[in-house]
Structure 1
Amino acid sequence: MALTPSEVALRLNSLPSDQARALTALFDKLISDVAAVTAGEVSSDTITDATETGISLLTAVDAAAARTAIGVVDATTETAGVVLQAEAQADSTAADVAGLKTDFNALLAKLQAAGLMAS
């Protein structure tokens, strides 16, 4: 059942003053939030309970900035990070050293392409 503004005021006036103030503040915040949403004015600045990391993630200009905001980095020989899974390498069927060298170099190339090994 919807209440008119005057009915809300009458009901608030019947409450103890501290409860009425608390409810009035809550209604004011709710009305403000609804007005912002309907006006399309919600932004990371209006989210008051977001962490610094959360705000950085919300305001990131691209995927690379978002990864940086949450601390995801590419792996290097010095730093652990996120890398792609390496492409599958078939079991070697080499019958000689030259064939084994070819298979091994193919494996190394796949590890390097995936970022699992420095080039």
Structure 2
Amino acid sequence: MKRFALLLCFLSLALSARAADSSTDAGLQEVQALGSINGQALACGYAETASRIKTVIIQHAPKSRRYGAAFEEATNMAFLDQTKKEQATCPDGPTLSGQADEATQRLQAAVPVPVVK
């Protein structure tokens, strides 16, 4: 009976860890999306949009190496892709800003900011 209870305990811990990991993955995808938009904004000279995205990441993304690396990698890849295209056309500012707003809302839904009491 004790073995069964122990097995049940381990199973519940494993399932809760898996559930937590899936919500982390959703937030990670949004951080990568914001990084990609940030890279485009930097390459196209939209400093205000890039600054706003960085503020969102600082305020809403979990503070971990994994999230920071994902954001930086996506930023670098998008920046390089935008700058190495010959005669690449940049999206207009409002379009890029709108994409940043949408990704911000998805990040906030995926990783809500904890309420401090």
TM-score exceeds 0.5: no
| Highest RCO, 1 vs 2 (Cα 8 Å, sep ≥ 6) | 2
Q: Report the TM-score, using the length of structure 1 for normalisation.
A: 0.28
So what's the TM-score if we normalise by structure 2? 0.28
Looking at CA atoms only, which structure, 1 or 2, has the larger radius of gyration?
1
